[in-house]
Amino acid sequence: MSGHNKWANIRLRKGAQDAKRGKVFTKVAKEIIIAAKSGGDPAGNARLRSAIAAAKAVNLPKDRIEAAIRKGTGQDAGGDITEIMYEGYGAGGVAIIVETATDNKNRTVADVRHVFTKYGGTMGESGSVSFQFDRMGVITLEKEKYPEEDAVMNMALEAGADDVIDSDDVWEVRTSMADFNAVRETLEEQGVEMAEAQLSMVPRVLVPIDAETAQKLFRITDALEELDDVQNVYTNADIPDDFEPAG
């Protein structure tokens, strides 16, 4: 059992809490805006199809999906959003990647740097930690809904996935970037309910840390995820299986 996966679960639980605050709606809408810059027709835009699927998974209303597409294509104002990735280190030398989507780069870099400094991390140059991660498709299924590992494995591999990782109370179906949409669409056609489906940064090697370091790291990643401009935060931490964040 890999501690990194527990981290993903804490994030998923937190995502459910974020949904109540509307942060998750803002996040999926921004992804649609960015995706729609390459064309507003999902049929010819794989990233937009993924973005819409992610939005539907968190019940973003249809009118808000359509409004985000119009902003992205330039039909409506509000689509001036840029993607920027920041990299750095947290407690225990753990690598942290912060994906942002912003209409004000100066504000965003200042906010991200402030969190790193406040919680004892350091920001690095572009490329300083990202080489330790691979971009992959990750589709998350809840074990409560899909308890049988063999059934999930067969279903995922038949759909074209590379692997299924046992992740605490969820399964992580992993795919290459190239196969992500095809796998997601196949599972969708089969009526599979996904907790999450997105391109993620998956660490190549995990860094083992103790509970005290995990707590420090959780404080920095939590503060980063609270920032309005932050879309995703990834780490290569292998945290203890019995870790529960305090506060």
d(CA 74, CA 217): 39
DSSP run (H or E) holding 97:
strand 95-102
User: Which residues lie closer than 8 Å to 107 by C-beta, 6 or more apart?
Assistant: 229
Q: What local confidence, expressed as pLDDT, does residue 245 receive?
A: 77
- Domain membership of residue 161 as a residue range: 133-203
Considering the domain architecture, whether residues 126 and 154 belong to the same structural domain is answered as no
Considering the domain architecture, whether residues 15 and 66 belong to the same structural domain is answered as yes
Considering the domain architecture, whether residues 139 and 178 belong to the same structural domain is answered as yes
Q: Is residue 176 one of the residues assigned to a domain?
A: yes
With a cut of 90, say whether residue 195 has pLDDT above it. Answer: no
Considering the domain architecture, whether residues 140 and 224 belong to the same structural domain is answered as no
Q: Is residue 244 one of the residues assigned to a domain?
A: no
Considering the domain architecture, whether residues 36 and 155 belong to the same structural domain is answered as no
Q: Is residue 247 one of the residues assigned to a domain?
A: no
Q: What CATH number is associated with residue 88?
A: 3.30.70.980
Q: Is residue 232 one of the residues assigned to a domain?
A: yes
Q: Is residue 33 one of the residues assigned to a domain?
A: yes
Q: Give residue-wise pLDDT tens across range 199-232.
A: 899 999 999 999 999 999 999 999 999 999 999 9
Considering the domain architecture, whether residues 11 and 67 belong to the same structural domain is answered as yes
Considering the domain architecture, whether residues 31 and 138 belong to the same structural domain is answered as no
Is 0.75 topped by the overall pTM?
Answer: yes
Q: Is residue 167 one of the residues assigned to a domain?
A: yes
pLDDT grade, residue 11 (50/70/90)? low
pLDDT grade, residue 7 (50/70/90)? low
CA dihedral 55, 186, 191, 52 (to 10 degrees): 10
With a cut of 60, say whether residue 3 has pLDDT above it. Answer: no
Write down which residue in 28, 56, 73 finishes a domain: 73
* CB 25, CB 65: distance < 8 Å: no
Considering the domain architecture, whether residues 114 and 174 belong to the same structural domain is answered as no
Read off φ and ψ for residue 50, nearest 5 degrees. -65, -45
Considering the domain architecture, whether residues 175 and 232 belong to the same structural domain is answered as no
Q: What local confidence, expressed as pLDDT, does residue 9 receive?
A: 60
Write down which residue in 73, 97, 116 finishes a domain: 73
Considering the domain architecture, whether residues 119 and 162 belong to the same structural domain is answered as no
Q: Give residue-wise pLDDT tens across range 52-73.
A: 988 988 889 999 999 999 999 9
The total number of structural domains that make up the chain = 3
Q: What CATH number is associated with residue 57?
A: 1.10.10.200
In order of 9, 21, 108, 236, the CA distances from 100 in angstroms are 21, 19, 8, 18
Q: Is residue 246 one of the residues assigned to a domain?
A: no
Structure tokens at 239: 């945290």
Structure tokens at 215: 């707590």
What average pLDDT is seen over the chain?
Answer: 90
Considering the domain architecture, whether residues 143 and 197 belong to the same structural domain is answered as yes
Q: Is residue 41 one of the residues assigned to a domain?
A: yes
With a cut of 60, say whether residue 235 has pLDDT above it. Answer: yes
Considering the domain architecture, whether residues 99 and 192 belong to the same structural domain is answered as no
